[in-house]
Amino acid sequence: MRSKLSLLLFASLSAFVNAEVTVYTSSTDSAAAAHYTVASTDQTILQAPAPPGDFNPAFFVQLYDGGMTGMSNPVGGALLGFSIELSVAAMLMGEKPAVIRPEFLNYCALLEARGGSVTIRVGGNTQDKATLNMDGNPNGHTIQKYKGNDASKTETPEVHFTPDLLLTMAEISKLVNANWFFGIPFVNNNADGNAALVLQNAKSTLGKNLLGLQMANEPDLYSMNQKKSSDYDIPAFMADTTYMINNLTIQDPILAGPSPCCFWSIGQLLDAGYLTQFQPQLKYIDVMHYPDNNCAQPKVDPQTKYTRYVSHHEVQNLVAPYLEASNAAVAAGKQFMMMETNTASCGGFPGISDGFASALWATDYALQMAYGNFTYGLIHFGGQNVYYNPFTPPPTNMTKVRQWNTGAIFYAQLIAAEALGKTGNARVIDLYVDNNSDSRAGYAIYENGVATRLLFVNYVQPTVPNANDYIVTFAVGGGQTNLPAITPATVKVKYLRADSINSKDNITWAGQTFGAQFQSDGRLQGDLDVVEILCNAADGTCNVPVPGPSVALVFLSDAAMASSGADITQAETFATTVTTGKAVPSMDQAALMSSNGRSGGDPLGTTSKSSSKDSSATLRSTVGSAWIWGVSVSVSFALAKLLL
């Protein structure tokens, strides 16, 4: 049965889609491919961290009917969303409202089907000096980059975008339930009226799908990256924010701020009065944080970083510093969110950010953010030259031989959406399983007082097969209590598996996969494989095996499964075979190759002025990665100067 969504897409694109159906070349031209290496095609395989010496193969979890002490506020299934660098937004989503990339829609539709909606932020380092060109860009593209006057200092290009960007976003929201954050250019205090224009257009174009406007981006770096004076401090930022709110006459609670990343803590900003002073205009208190960075030159050995991403304690440590602020925000009637995050800034680490470990880590991190009363945590996308993207289109000249690459971390987004579901009412608790073991994580999700789902992570890559599988025994009531047991008679379990914690290919979520690298159209392939477990009626307990490494999502009822779309099929997503055709949008090579993805310093790769050697090349490609009207392109991937 064709879903409402794909019908809509077909209708909206049929005006220009040639009736001819595209058949993908599934064979990769490996000779050509081999010559083309950017971070997103890196094949580094690291050595898996050793299993812990004291591995406990079984533990017990006591759950209570009605809820658990310390569980979070209710949260929705769109928690783990996307943060898209403004400069790469058209490359990823589509160049024009009539030319939306179906793969992008497919990924969104998968999340919507599970979590009810998808959260997408467009902004980042380039938002601060972005100009909205109402009359279009000289080169005809939606996003055009200029070296700013101070490009010699920051090497960050200025982005000029057209209303088509916002119109494309609005069109996406008609096809999938996407809700947006958009960045307001902050640094020149609306001196030219541009910030006001961006604000008005974002509001009017996105309407009810606009969640919030991000005011300022990493202001704690403004002195370093020379967006502001070298003595720029918190009082100066508070004054600028006051000025902007007044100048833009913002009255409604629509803002997300203050978005610090690196040098100012959220506590310092709240102490300076950010929350109280801007209470009427704020809807979200937000932060940005990456646990590590890959900015140093020469590059660090990623092997030395691996253990950090297979550790529940490290995940707890990521969220703990924000708990005071998140609870203060909630107490003030605001929401708290992580506007931008990923495995490591400056593009991530090869072998970690693009491997199965990142899926385990991000699943744990998402649930930990939910437990910490975050409403959203948005996973950042850079361009081609980063390791960490949830998904990446092929380089333009490779669209004939390659499809999209689904990153391991995208599987975590699917799982987080299913774990939290569509009710908007999920309350999460970290169970500190096995005496808060570092190599495993366990969470319970309650909805309306009923335990509906459990999620377990096993981070351990065994050296002897199955030596590091564990079994969770749980009971709802009963067990170690004097309460009656209401443990279900059966539970259903979906597993996230891969050949190894290093795998970049063929990761499976309940048997379904995006397949091998560079072979994805954003749809799950294969049959759904859900494991049913019979619980022990005699003592009201239930045993769930959790192999190493894996994630296990346990559904305590069929209703809990249905309300998180855990049983959906791929028929509900967009078929690229229907939507790829002969439309010929042109793609700005500079935008395509740009790679920002830096929180806490200057951008990586080709947003630097020296790295896109041939930004004037006119490339034409069809929607959805099919054809190129080829013109030679020469791009080099110079390493940008990095600040940290």
Residue ranges binding ligand NAG (CB under 6 A): 32, 35-36, 70, 72-73, 190-191, 247, 249, 323, 327, 330, 371-373, 397-398, 401, 435, 505-506, 516, 633-635
- Identify which of residues 39 and 170 has a Cβ nearer to ligand NAG in the complex: 39
Smallest separation, CB 538 to ligand NAG (Å):
27
Smallest separation, CB 330 to ligand NAG (Å):
6
- Identify which of residues 37 and 276 has a Cβ nearer to ligand NAG in the complex: 37
Alpha-carbon gap, residue 530 to 632, rounded angstroms: 48
Cross-strand pairs, 406: 391
Alpha-carbon gap, residue 168 to 590, rounded angstroms: 19
Closest CA to 10 of 169, 175, 142: 175
Q: Provide the phi-psi class of 625: left if phi over 0, else alpha when psi is between -120 and 50, else beta.
A: left
- Identify which of residues 199 and 451 has a Cβ nearer to ligand NAG in the complex: 199
In the three-class reduction of DSSP (H, G, I as helix; E, B as strand; rest coil), residue 182 is classed as strand
Q: Using alpha carbons, list the distances in angstroms from residue 468 to 306, 360, 461, 462.
A: 18, 15, 7, 6
Smallest separation, CB 559 to ligand NAG (Å):
25
Cross-strand pairs, 119: 179
Smallest separation, CB 249 to ligand NAG (Å):
6
- Identify which of residues 184 and 642 has a Cβ nearer to ligand NAG in the complex: 184
Q: Name the amino acid, one letter, at 306.
A: Y
- Identify which of residues 84 and 401 has a Cβ nearer to ligand NAG in the complex: 401
Smallest separation, CB 352 to ligand NAG (Å):
17
- Identify which of residues 286 and 292 has a Cβ nearer to ligand NAG in the complex: 286
**Angle between helix 4-13 and 102-115 (nearest 10):** 160
Alpha-carbon gap, residue 223 to 239, rounded angstroms: 15
Smallest separation, CB 190 to ligand NAG (Å):
5
Alpha-carbon gap, residue 4 to 1, rounded angstroms: 9
- Identify which of residues 134 and 191 has a Cβ nearer to ligand NAG in the complex: 191
Smallest separation, CB 423 to ligand NAG (Å):
18
Closest CA to 39 of 303, 296, 351: 351
DSSP string, 453-513: EEEEEE----SSTTTT-EEEEEEESSTTSSSPP---SEEEEEEEE-SSTT--S--EETTBB
Alpha-carbon gap, residue 19 to 208, rounded angstroms: 34
C-alpha gyration radius of the chain: 24
- Identify which of residues 168 and 316 has a Cβ nearer to ligand NAG in the complex: 316
Smallest separation, CB 16 to ligand NAG (Å):
26
- Identify which of residues 499 and 539 has a Cβ nearer to ligand NAG in the complex: 499
Compute the CA torsion angle 632, 635, 636, 637 (nearest 10 deg).
-150
In the three-class reduction of DSSP (H, G, I as helix; E, B as strand; rest coil), residue 60 is classed as strand
Smallest separation, CB 629 to ligand NAG (Å):
13
